[in-house]
Amino acid sequence: MIPYAFNYRRAQSIAEAQSLLKGDAKLLAGGQTLVSAMKLRLAAPSDLIDISRLKELTFIRREGDALVIGAGTTHHEVATSATVEAAIPALKVMAEMIGDPAVRHKGTLGGSIANNDPAADYPAALVALGATVKTTAREIAAEDFFTGMFSTALDENEIVIHVSFPVPERAAYAKFRNPASRFALTGVFVSKTKSGPRVAVIGAGSNVFRVPAMEQALATNFTADAIKGITIDAGDLNSDIHASAEYRAHLVGVMAQRAVSSAS
């Protein structure tokens, strides 16, 4: 498959990337979604600004009560980082579940959240952990960052620099994959934080969402039993050939219970 013609540019700095990012230009990080979309001619950028080699975007560090990960950090790097494992083991486990080994070698945190695929895993982690997205312009709370299916609060030439994840007391991620495509039919990230428990769901709706009823139940009793009877309204959920909205609603409950049981 051959995409529409475009100009390839490799940025030497974030500042240069920003100056090149105008009109129909797009940033290229791991390219594991964008390149496929271009091959299908669903995306036709005029220019690709390659930011994958920018060292200033590739780092993992512990800063006090937060784990800070550069936008250019690959899923493989997150999945194999001792710093991530020590701070938020659930994030390591989640990164290990993304795509396949080759996709994890290329795909990045920044690329995943900027694309905001409804079935992407990272949005659940960001929302459940109360993370903050640092961009070239500002800091955005995760819940304000993900605005809808494939859309975010990012402005035209705003670039994600890093994500800061407050380290929770406990957290876990559970996902139910489509057995053929291995994409998430539903994934639930739960956390127990200083400000209370959080439950964030991906794959089931058009955008990541929290489940307040579960969070309230978990606040008094952080066990799977505490959320057993809580049902999810199927009205707003996705329905397609892979799963009905009712089935996805059921999976949210099951995955949330599994995540709470395994939280560490």
Partner 1 sequence: MSKITLTVNGKSVSADVEDRTLLVYFLRGQRALTGTHIGGDTSQCGACMVHIDGKAVKSCTMFAAQADGSSVTTIEGLARDGKLHPVQEAFREHHGLQCGFCTPGMIMTAVDMIARGAATSRDAIRHELEGNICRCTGYHNIVSAIEAAAQQAGASKAAAE
- In this structure, which amino acid lies at residue 81? S
Nearer to partner 1, 28 or 126 (CB): 28
Query: Is there binding between residue 102 and partner 1 (CB under 8 A)?
Result: yes
Write down the least CB distance from residue 230 to partner 1, Å.
32
Query: Is there binding between residue 106 and partner 1 (CB under 8 A)?
Result: yes
Binder of partner 1 out of 59, 105, 143, 153 (CB under 8 A)? 105
Query: Is there binding between residue 167 and partner 1 (CB under 8 A)?
Result: no
Who's near 52: CB < 8 A, 6+ residues apart?
Answer: 28, 29, 30, 31, 72, 108
Binder of partner 1 out of 11, 25, 28, 119 (CB under 8 A)? 28
Query: Is there binding between residue 16 and partner 1 (CB under 8 A)?
Result: no
Cα separation, 209 vs 200, whole angstroms: 5
Cα separation, 46 vs 8, whole angstroms: 9
Cα separation, 21 vs 15, whole angstroms: 10
Binding mask 52-71 for partner 1 (x = CB under 8 A): x-------------------
Task: Give the HSE-up count for residue 159: Cα atoms under 13 Å, Cβ half-sphere.
Answer: 28
Cα separation, 196 vs 140, whole angstroms: 20
Q: How many residues bind partner 1 (CB under 8 A)?
A: 28
Query: Is there binding between residue 46 and partner 1 (CB under 8 A)?
Result: no
